[in-house]
Amino acid sequence: MALLPILEFPDPRLRTVAKPVTEVDDKIRQLVADMFDTMYDAPGIGLAASQVNVHKRVVVIDVSEDKSQPLVFINPEIEVLDPEVSEYDEGCLSVPGFYETVVRPNHIRVKALDRDGNPFEMEPQGLLAVCIQHELDHLNGKLFVDHISPLKRTRIRAKMDKKHKAEAR
């Protein structure tokens, strides 16, 4: 078990676009295990490899109350199945302590590889669909704060900068 340091906004490394995984090997499986440990410890319901400064297209998610439904998405691709959108209050382990309303499609199809490199598809709705989209944004160098007003984003950045300066003392 290894807990990985989580990058925090406005760290520029969070803007790095992740590269596809070319082979699902023991190194990737260890990354997945460490990401689950880190996510559960934080605590969170989703974590992208980009958030732990590994710029590969790997996401772990568990939206269950009891941490019993761990999901792994390697090289995920999504397709919107229903244009209807929903508003969710989103938070992020890379922007701790902040929650803002984000509008996203409510029903998607995701294609990915599992932790053993086997391809799979699913058609999640609701919270799981939103969480997958949120984590996929990370892989593309985006954060949930990019979906809110510039004024709110600037305020959050200022508070995060102040927090980081205080921690550096």
Was 138 annotated as part of a binding site?
A: yes
pTM of the model: 0.95
Structure tokens at 73: 């998405």
Token pair for residue 7?
Answer: 């990058």
Residue 95 β-bridge partners? 92
Q: What is the pLDDT of residue 89?
A: 94
Domain ranges of the chain: 12-168
What is the strand order of the sheet 71-92 is part of? 46-48, 58-61, 71-92, 95-113, 119-122
134 is in an annotated binding site: yes
pLDDT at 119: 98
Within its chain, how far is the Cα of 92 from the centroid? 8
Q: What is the pLDDT of residue 1?
A: 72
pLDDT of residue 169: 86
What would the CATH number be for the domain defined by 12-168?
3.90.45.10
Token pair 């391809």 is found at: 119
Say what the pLDDT of residue 153 is.
94
Question: What pLDDT does residue 10 have?
Answer: 95
Instruction: Give the residue numbers marked as catalytic.
Output: 135
Partners of 112 in the β-ladder: 120
Per-block mean pLDDT, blocks of 10 residues, the chain (169 long): 94 98 97 98 97 98 96 97 91 96 95 98 95 98 96 95 91
Residue 84 to residue 75: CA distance in whole angstroms: 25
How many helices (H) and strands (E) are present in the chain, helices listed first? Answer: 3, 5
55 is in an annotated binding site: no
Per DSSP, the three-state class of 67 is coil
* Residue 44: per-residue pLDDT: 96
Identify any residues that bridge with 80 across adjacent strands, giving them in sequence order: 108
